[in-house]
C-alpha cells in the first residue's frame, strides 16, 4: 500500500497515562514517543480535539523526504486507545496507512524490533481498540519485551517496570526504535524493515 507523500503521518506511542505506569514494559511506546519528541525539539501539549497529548513537527532532512508528523500519546488507558487515535486521525486528516502504532510485543525477544503494515492484534489491548475503531490497515512498530518468567501472569508482567538487567540496554533499544520510526516515515516500510527488522 503506497502512502500519500503530502499527507501528514500520525505516530502514536501506546501506553497508560500517569507516573505510576511510566517505567512499565507496557509503556515502551510512550518512551519511544518521548525520545522522538526530544529529537523534534518540541514538547507535548494537550490536544483540543482528543484525549491525547500531541506534538506537531517534521521528521527527516530538508528536501523531498521531509515529512509532517503528528506525534501522539493517548491519555486514555491502553484498552481505550482507539477513540483518541481515531479523533486525531480525523482532525489532522491522516490516511490510516500513515498511522504508526508503537507498542510492546510479548512474542518477540526483548529489544527485537518488527515493523509491519496491518495484521492482527495478537491479544494486545491497545491494538485491539485501534483496530475496532478504524480497521487494521495501519503500521505497527512492535518492540519485543519477551514472555513472562515462570508462572507470572501476562497482565502482571507488562505492568511491571523493566528489570535492572533490561534497563542497562533499554536506552539503546528505545533509540533504535526511534530510528526505525524515522526511517519508516521518510524512506518507506520496505527500507525500514530491511534495516531494523531482526
Catalytic amino acids? 26
Strands 9-13 and 45-46, sheet pairing: unpaired
- Residue among 187, 168, 63, 66 nearest 115 (CA): 187
Helices (H), the chain: 28-39, 82-92, 125-134, 154-158, 164-187, 189-196
Q: Which residues pair with 9 in a beta bridge?
A: 69
Copy the grid coordinates of residue 130. Answer: 485501534
- What lies within 8 Å, CB to CB, of 162 at 6+ separation is 23, 25, 170
**Cβ atoms of 143 and 104 closer than 8 Å:** yes
Q: Tell me the chain's radius of gyration from C-alpha atoms.
A: 15
Beta strands in 60-149 (DSSP E): 67-74, 99-105, 113-117, 139-144
Amino acid at each position: 500500500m503506497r502512502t500519500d507523500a503530502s499527507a501528514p503521518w500520525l505516530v502514536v506511542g501506546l501506553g497508560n497515562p500517569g507516573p505510576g505506569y511510566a517505567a512499565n514494559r507496557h509503556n515502551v511506546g510512550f518512551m519511544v514517543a518521548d525520545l522522538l519528541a526530544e529529537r523534534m525539539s518540541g514538547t507535548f501539549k494537550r490536544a483540543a480535539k482528543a484525549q491525547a497529548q500531541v506534538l506537531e513537527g517534521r521528521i527527516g532532512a530538508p528536501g523531498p523526504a521531509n515529512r509532517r508528523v503528528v506525534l501522539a500519546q493517548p491519555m486514555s488507558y491502553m484498552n481505550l486507545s482507539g477513540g483518541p487515535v481515531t479523533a486525531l486521525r480525523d482532525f489532522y486528516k491522516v490516511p490510516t496507512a500513515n498511522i504508526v502504532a508503537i507498542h510492546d510485543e510479548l512474542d518477540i525477544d526483548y529489544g527485537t524490533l518488527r515493523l509491519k503494515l496491518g495484521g492482527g492484534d495478537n491479544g494486545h489491548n491497545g491494538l485491539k481498540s485501534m483496530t475496532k475503531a478504524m480497521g487494521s490497515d495501519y503500521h505497527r512498530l512492535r518492540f519485543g519485551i519477551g514472555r513472562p518468567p515462570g508462572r507470572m501472569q501476562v497482565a502482571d508482567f507488562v505492568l511491571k517496570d523493566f528489570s535492572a538487567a533490561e534497563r542497562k540496554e533499554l536506552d539503546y533499544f528505545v533509540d533504535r526504535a526511534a530510528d526505525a520510526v524515522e526511517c519508516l516515515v521518510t524512506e518507506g516500510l520496505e527500507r525500514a524493515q530491511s534495516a531494523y527488522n531482526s
